[in-house]
Structure 1
Amino acid sequence: MSAKVSEKLFATTVVGSYPQPDWLVNREMLSKVVPRVRLKEIWRVPEAWLEQAQDDATVVAIREQEAAGIDVITDGEMRRESYSNRFATALEGIDIDNPGMVKSRAGTMTPVPRVVGKVRRRGPVEIRDMEFLRAHTDRAAKITLPGPFTMAQQAQDEFYKDPEALAMDMAAAVNAEIHDLVKAGADVIQLDEPWVRQNPDMAKQFAVKAINRALEGVTVPTAIHLCFGYAAVVPGSSKPAGYAFLAELADTTAGIISIESAQPKLDLGVLKDLAPKQVMLGVIDLSDPAVETPQTVAERIRAGLKYLPADKLIPAPDCGMKYMPRSVAFAKLKAMSEGAAIVRKELS
């Protein structure tokens, strides 16, 4: 990681999202669906004032992350209906008015972007988001994008008829966006690629190739995020104890691999497969509304240190923080920062 990001041992971060305020989104609707196409009815604020409201919510998310002691912060993804749909539906070649249908990770049929032409990036999608984040914090700042493999899996392809060709054009679009995000002040870029676990056989064919194309020429630290599904949707008892596609990510050009650990009680022996990457390790269980003590967080960090050197471990929550009550999310982040400080002091 860059000097600005790595100057502190166990520099804490978030996966990306932070709870959106109840006055901004219909949280009951949010809890029922992870939209792949646009879901404008989720917003409580009329469109004329929506951007202003999203800006205000972003300032709140930034300030709460700072107050909780987080070192590498995001904009909380306040402007997004889901982690992927904002970018995916902005691309040329996508018919957003007539969506397709694919089977979700939960096994249900879900409306998705329908690919009807060559996929290209029309223009900036998240650049203003990054500029706003950069203007409102002097801490290291990260921004997230959906990864090309996941976006290709979440689409109905009626043009390419070739999953790899679609993923590679998605990757080129992501790459163009990343370079503009770096110019806008991003210290870290994260690609969310949860679907490599959903379809590991296809992922083994070209996911690493697509990810590396998306990250081509990027000079700031980069991360690949995996997850087993949001705690709000997928109970911990149904989560596997290991990833079907993990060791393969050692071949990506990303320097950081982000994985859930706390809720699924991951066998941390898998961390050995990721050398020499840094690992963003989930040490906060988002399925449990009880707030961890700093000591519990410290124990989870120490468990990771059995397999990773201290400078390779980045404490983070498991993913899906946006679904939590904001007071709980804040308290959990504060406990995480304090837990990291305990272990940092032990090693100083």
Structure 2
Amino acid sequence: MKVLSMTTLLPTTTAGSLPKPSWLARPETLWSPWKLAGEELAAGKRDALRLAVDDQRQAGIHILGDGEQTRQHFVTTFIEHLAGVDFEQRETVRIRDRYDASVPTVVGAVSRPGPVFVDDARFLRAQTDRPIKWTLPGPMTMIDTLYDAHYRSREKLAWEFACILNEEARELEAAGVDIVQFDEPAFNVFFDEANDWGIATLERAAQGLTVETAVHICYGYGIKANTDWKKTLGAEWRQYERTFPNLRGSTIDIISLECQNSRVPMDLIELIRGKKVMVGAIDVATDTIETPEQVAATLRTALRFVDADKLYPATNCGMAPLRRAVATGKLRALAAGADIVRQELAA
């Protein structure tokens, strides 16, 4: 495992996506079609990535991401580059037992003809000397976003994707990425599968990496389907309780969870004692910008269950559906709130 070359206590980061500029894609929309094409689109994506880096840097974020500016969606953009998946042959499936969506079909053996995000990661690396993090979809979340007409086995397809993700992750490491993060919101839904083979496939995706690895497990973007689902979860959201014990024993270095304005009992973090923890201290399901003190209060509570040198203040989830001004304000609040607690710890 590589230790980040960072001496800052409570290094801040984001869970992943940031809103795209209005000249690149329609704002406040997931799967928004691009407004540009060809060479203009390629240049526009790079411009948006540079802008996302600058927004994070000016806000005071320590570990920078690309804001997922070059992809339409955190799962499907990766899958688009794989062989064996037909995007014209579509079926309607239930996504994470929450909402129906028209998805592409696995029609043959899946493979990765070439790198997917590696050039973009090199471009991100060239923009900053700060640590950078790159997000990839996790194997279980990938299979939950497809119709499988070939393998007809969720587990078998997940193992195939794990091998493909590992190829990509190794090349991202070679491109200078400091943290490779796998997004697995499916872990908060399919508990038995996650424990039976989901965590094992995640470890396969991270196999052989010397940079730090993270898994992001949240309750989803702040879209209606997700917020409606949350209303059915009761007074306490204890989903993490089902997978954290096994994740604690896994080879993954960092666990990312949702804490701000959530009903997750904070003491569940104790179940992953010893791991580094990305604590979501920014609510992505509201346009209300947190105050620095609200962020600080969340972090103070988390520090009862995770050592300070292992706490990474972050956002609950990606912020792609938000307005840019709101997202930027939330980034500033995250940095300022972390700074309050950092000063308290120093004193």
The interval holding the TM-score normalised by the smaller chain is over 0.9
Q: 2:137 aligns to what? A: 146
Query: CA RMSD, aligned part only?
Result: 1.7
Superposition deviation, residue 153 in structure 1 = 2.2
Q: Which amino acid aligns with 2:279?
A: L
Determine the structure 1 residue equivalent to 2:301: 303
Distance (Å, rounded) in 2 between the aligned partners of 1:108 and 1:202: 20
Match of 2:13 in 1: 13
Q: Which amino acid aligns with 1:275?
A: R
Whether contact under 8 Å (1:237, 1:264) holds in the other structure is no
Other-structure match for 2:327 = 329
Aligned to 1:24: 24
2:147 is matched with 156
In the TM superposition, 1:54-65 aligns within 5 A as 54-65=45-56
Distance 1:96 1:188 in 2: 30
Query: What's the offset of the Cα at 1:238?
Result: 4.5
Counterpart check, 1:195 vs 2:193: no
Match of 1:276 in 2: 274
Task: Indicate the larger mover: 185-194 or 329-338.
Answer: 329-338
Deviation at 1:251, TM superposition (A): 2.8
Deviation at 1:3, TM superposition (A): 4.2
Letter of the 1:77 counterpart: E
- 2:222 pairs, out of 219, 231, 237, with 231
- Match of 2:90, SS state, is strand
1:121 pairs with 75, 92, 112, which one? 112
In the alignment, the residues of structure 2 paired with residue 327 and residue 343 of structure 1 have an alpha-carbon distance, to the nearest angstrom, of 25
Query: How far, CA to CA, are the matches of 1:220 and 1:3 in structure 2?
Result: 7
> How does 1:42-121 map onto structure 2 within 5 Å?
42-105=33-96, 107-121=98-112
1:140 counterpart letter in structure 2: P
Contact 1:280 1:315 in 2 (8 A): yes
The residue type paired with residue 136 of structure 1 is Q
> Does structure 1 conserve the Cα–Cα contact (< 8 Å) formed by 2:27 and 2:323?
no
Q: Is the 8 A contact 1:263 1:286 kept in 2?
A: no
Residue 45 of structure 1 and its aligned partner are, at CA, apart by 1.4
CA–CA distance in structure 2, aligned partners of residues 89 and 205 of structure 1: 28
Partner of 1:312: 310
Q: Partner of 1:154: helix, strand, or coil?
A: coil
Unaligned runs of 5+ in 2: none
CA distance in 2, matches of 1:294, 1:285: 13
In the other structure, the counterpart of 2:247 is 249
Decide which moves more: 12-21 or 93-102.
93-102
Structure 1: segments with no counterpart, 5+ residues: 36-40
The C-alpha deviation readout for 1:258-295, integer Å capped at 9, x for no partner, is 01111323201110111221110001112232222211
CA contact 2:293–2:337 (8 Å) conserved in 1: yes
**TM-score, reference length from structure 1:** 0.93
Q: Aligned pair count?
A: 339
Asked whether the equivalents of residues 2 and 211 of structure 2 are also in contact (C-alpha less than 8 Å), the reply is yes
Paired letter, 1:192: D
Distance 1:101 1:7 in 2: 48
Match of 2:159 in 1: 168
Task: Give the partner amino acid of 1:7.
Answer: T
- Cα pair 1:91 1:121 within 8 Å, conserved: yes
Q: Which stretch shifts more, 318-327 or 51-60? A: 318-327
State the TM-score, normalized to the length of structure 2: 0.93
Could you tell me how far apart the structure 1 residues matched to 2:231 and 2:140 are?
27
CA contact (8 A) 1:294 1:336 kept: yes
- The offset of 1:150, in angstroms, is 1.1
Task: Determine which of 249, 253, 256 is the counterpart of 1:258.
Answer: 256
Secondary structure at the residue paired with 1:27? coil
- State the shift of 1:48 in Å: 3.8
Inter-partner Cα distance in structure 1 for 2:343 and 2:2: 22
Counterpart of 1:322 in structure 2: which amino acid?
A: A
- The Cα shift of 1:107 comes to 3.4
Counterpart contact for 1:141–1:186, Cα < 8 Å:
yes
**What is the CA-CA distance between 1:212 and the residue it aligns to?**
0.9
